Structure 1
Amino acid sequence: MDEAGISAIADWTVRRGLAGDDEITLLNGFCERCVDAGLEIARGLAIIDTLHPVYEGRVFSWSSDKPVETPVSPYAPMSLGGYAAESWKNSPFYHLLQTGEDELRQRLDEQGEQTFPVMAELRDEGQTDWLAMIQRFDKEAAIGEMDCFMSRWTTTRPGGFTDDDIATLRRLVPVLGLAIKSTSLARVAQSLAEAYLGRDPGRRVLEGRVTRGEAERINAAIWFSDMQGYTKLSESIDSDQLIPFLNDYAEIVITAVHGAGGDVLKLMADGVLAIFTADGPAEACAAALRAETDMRRRHAELNLRRVASGQPVSSIYLGLHTGDVFYGNIGSKDRLDFTVVGQAVNETSRIASMCRSADRDVLFSLDFRDALPPLERDRLVSVGRYALRGVGRAQELFTLDPDTASP
């Protein structure tokens, strides 16, 4: 490849990286342009770690001779062990990381035993040459496990890569690595903001709404749930069971809230604060009611599984209310929280705490009931008037009609 071709590919990669193209788009465009310029790449593979609550990183794959069934593949943390971790330890990338080397090449069209299992597989598929590369990041530039960019390149060209091909890859792959790192860092910021702040608050923060005291007045359906007897249970349960126990119950609540279009704003050990905004109070309250139904179904299934495996179970209390709240940044200049505050939030918490006194798993305020569409409103029945701590007037509370409520 001549200098003009190398410069054109490097310029394209930089421009698309700055534009924010995703990783697979960058890899595909890079490989296709290399092939068009005379560098006979048959397969391309890019790997980069990330910061994510579930998976450790992602693999991006490109092929010139066959469709790629899974162009983007996340992989689980290697600390979990299993087949994937064992395969990783038998990979050339693991070898490079352990030895501190940056590059490994092996001809696949020559006789003899291949060093790594993947090389034999590629040779059987007609690949003739193989090159693995690692671009390492300085310690200050690493985020979590994201400390390098790994790539693998193969060809079916008779005789393998030429010396010029290898030299070209050495010049261009770092540019691709920088573009993919840039995109991956933006993805890290988004996933962490959503995981720790909530989906909508995370989006708002990344849009630049980070000024202390900046908040807007919104109308929302407010969800406050917690687990019955959590404090006593946490004292009796084995310490190694406590986190899985909390995760199981948080999972069903958060999944139900998100599934109905709500946003989880805060996790407080066993408690969950969420809001539903939708298009108006009627839709927001109907969405919250759908989330309640979904959560109860998931809760019943979870308790059956945990009982069958001899694990402790718990009930979930839920309070639902609607009203105006302030939604935005609250805190000090050193520590902010993006959440909702206001009297309606306080009342929702008090309504949830009344579940035990009313002997009900879920309680709704009168305002919430009145905001529901008529058909949904008929599903609720009154349980009487209650004085809520910190609220100046007694409130009529409602629950689901036992004759119509789903088990």
Structure 2
Amino acid sequence: MPLSSTLAWLVDAAAETAGADRLLAELGAHLVADGLPLAGGALTLDVPHPLIARRTWLWRAEGEEVIEALGFAPGAAAFASGARDDAGRRWLSGIAAGTVRQDVIGPAEGGPSLGWIGPRPFTPGEIEQLRQAARFAATPLALLAVRATLAAALEAYLGRRSAARVLAAPLRRDLGETIQAALLYADLRDFTALSENNPPAAVIAALDAWFDRIAGAVHAFGGEVLKFIGDGVLAIFPVAGASPRGACDAALRAVTAARAGMMHLDDERRGQALPPLSFGAALHLGEMLWGNIGAANRLDFTAIGPAVNLVSRLEGLCKPLGRTVLVSGVLAAETDMMFDALGPHSLRGIASPCEVFALPEA
């Protein structure tokens, strides 16, 4: 007996689907073509992510729309903006309130979950067709879950852009590309004293609060954190198109937002009889090599080059100059923001003096 078009697609092509949203939409379309009365469907995957516990994709047969709902991990309520783990169920139930029946059909508990709804209760024959499709879908769903797990883990440790590059390229240390970017390097001041005078739990809490502010601001304005280096952060805002102005403006907005966030954090810490967390940050625009470096069998994906060296050395001037945010002349020339001009300064290990500007202190 020949396979239906749905089962044939699940066997021959579903494993190559680009993502969960496309798998759900194409599977739904094949089921409808095979005569099943579907109004919508949902596919849920558990995700190993610091904030997200699960991702649910929701498909409407009418218009073939697919949207995504997130289920947040315990402790991530501040990032959830009111979203709930049952968002998929509520969305599906809202397609035709009072006339829709949902049948969840999928692998064992803890694995991917696949559900369908129709404009009326499914007949026993239709339920059997859906269950058969679910059995054939088990393998492509498992592969999809593995790919999603790998992508989520890499994004958590490397960042979205870097993770995509690692997944797309061979694991060799001679691979990389030269890109232009606005670079941000930021560092807590007096971290050694903080570490020596406080228990480890308090030090980690302070570091996490600092990283939340600086990394959150970087990501909010389209940048990417490349490295946490002790108490320091190296982030990039890649240049898109011919002009670097957009990347430079984004970096400036990010560091301004981070400074405001740290002011609020220091207010909270003073209320808890804790000392403020002073920091310095520097911005520069330049080219860097972005790719794999390391030993033959232990790689790191990072950025290196003179621009990276300069921005880290420039940050080292923040404390002696009594400024929070310093900007190189190269980056300052690409923006209309008003700066305090501090003149040329020699930087350790950098051949030519650097024109240094500063954001006015808040």
TM range (shorter): 0.7 to 0.9
CA shift for structure 1 position 133: 4.4
Whether the 8 Å CA contact 2:106–2:134 is kept in 1: the answer is no
Name stretches of at least 5 consecutive residues in structure 2 with no aligned partner: 78-83, 87-96
Whether the 8 Å CA contact 1:347–1:391 is kept in 2: the answer is yes
CA shift for structure 1 position 273: 0.9
Q: CA RMSD in A?
A: 3.9
Whether the 8 Å CA contact 1:17–1:183 is kept in 2: the answer is no
Tell me what 1:343 maps to.
Answer: 306
2:321 maps to 1:358: yes
CA shift for structure 1 position 210: 3.7
Of residues 339, 358, 362, the one that matches 1:399 is 358
Tell me what 1:390 maps to.
Answer: 349
Listed as ranges, the matches of 1:59-208 within 5 Å are 59-61=56-58, 72-77=68-73, 125=98, 132-136=104-108, 148-152=111-115, 161-162=123-124, 164-208=125-169
Structure 1 SS opposite 2:70: strand
Whether the 8 Å CA contact 2:339–2:357 is kept in 1: the answer is no
CA shift for structure 1 position 294: 2.5
Tell me what 2:262 maps to.
Answer: 299
Question: What is the rounded CA distance, in whole Å, between the counterparts of 1:151 and 1:71 in structure 2?
Answer: 15
2:295 maps to 1:332: yes
Structure 2 SS opposite 1:300: helix
Question: What is the rounded CA distance, in whole Å, between the counterparts of 1:338 and 1:247 in structure 2?
Answer: 23
Question: What is the rounded CA distance, in whole Å, between the counterparts of 1:329 and 1:149 in structure 2?
Answer: 33
Rg larger for: 1
Tell me what 1:239 maps to.
Answer: 200
2:27 maps to 1:30: yes
Percent identical pairs in the alignment equals 30
Deviations 1:41-85 (A, max 9, x none): 677443321222211222344577x9999953222336989xxxx
| Count of paired positions | 346
Question: What is the rounded CA distance, in whole Å, between the counterparts of 1:267 and 1:223 in structure 2?
Answer: 12
Whether the 8 Å CA contact 2:24–2:43 is kept in 1: the answer is yes
Whether the 8 Å CA contact 2:340–2:358 is kept in 1: the answer is yes
Question: What is the rounded CA distance, in whole Å, between the counterparts of 1:68 and 1:231 in structure 2?
Answer: 56
Of residues 270, 288, 291, the one that matches 2:251 is 288
Structure 1 SS opposite 2:183: strand
CA shift for structure 1 position 14: 4.7
Deviations 1:198-255 (A, max 9, x none): 3332222222154312333444333211112222223334433443432322122223
2:344 maps to 1:372: no
Question: What is the rounded CA distance, in whole Å, between the counterparts of 1:286 and 1:43 in structure 2?
Answer: 43
Question: What is the rounded CA distance, in whole Å, between the counterparts of 2:261 and 2:129 in structure 1?
Answer: 55
Question: What is the rounded CA distance, in whole Å, between the counterparts of 2:195 and 2:69 in structure 1?
Answer: 38
Question: What is the rounded CA distance, in whole Å, between the counterparts of 1:67 and 1:324 in structure 2?
Answer: 45
Question: What is the rounded CA distance, in whole Å, between the counterparts of 2:43 and 2:286 in structure 1?
Answer: 49
Tell me what 1:115 maps to.
Answer: none
2:188 maps to 1:227: yes
TM-score by length of 1: 0.69
TM-score by length of 2: 0.77
Name stretches of at least 5 consecutive residues in structure 1 with no aligned partner: 82-86, 92-123, 138-146
Tell me what 1:109 maps to.
Answer: none
CA shift for structure 1 position 310: 5.7
Bigger mean CA offset, 327-336 vs 174-183: 174-183
Amino acid at match of 1:230: F
Tell me what 1:114 maps to.
Answer: none
Deviations 1:251-294 (A, max 9, x none): 22223223433332111132111223314455543433232222
Question: What is the rounded CA distance, in whole Å, between the counterparts of 2:243 and 2:65 in structure 1?
Answer: 43
Tell me what 1:253 maps to.
Answer: 214
Question: What is the rounded CA distance, in whole Å, between the counterparts of 2:66 and 2:179 in structure 1?
Answer: 42
Bigger mean CA offset, 283-292 vs 268-277: 283-292
Amino acid at match of 2:356: L
Tell me what 1:12 maps to.
Answer: 9
Question: What is the rounded CA distance, in whole Å, between the counterparts of 2:55 and 2:271 in structure 1?
Answer: 35
Question: What is the rounded CA distance, in whole Å, between the counterparts of 1:63 and 1:126 in structure 2?
Answer: 15
CA shift for structure 1 position 365: 3.0
Call closer, same or farther: CA 1:388–1:274 in 2, change over 3 Å: same
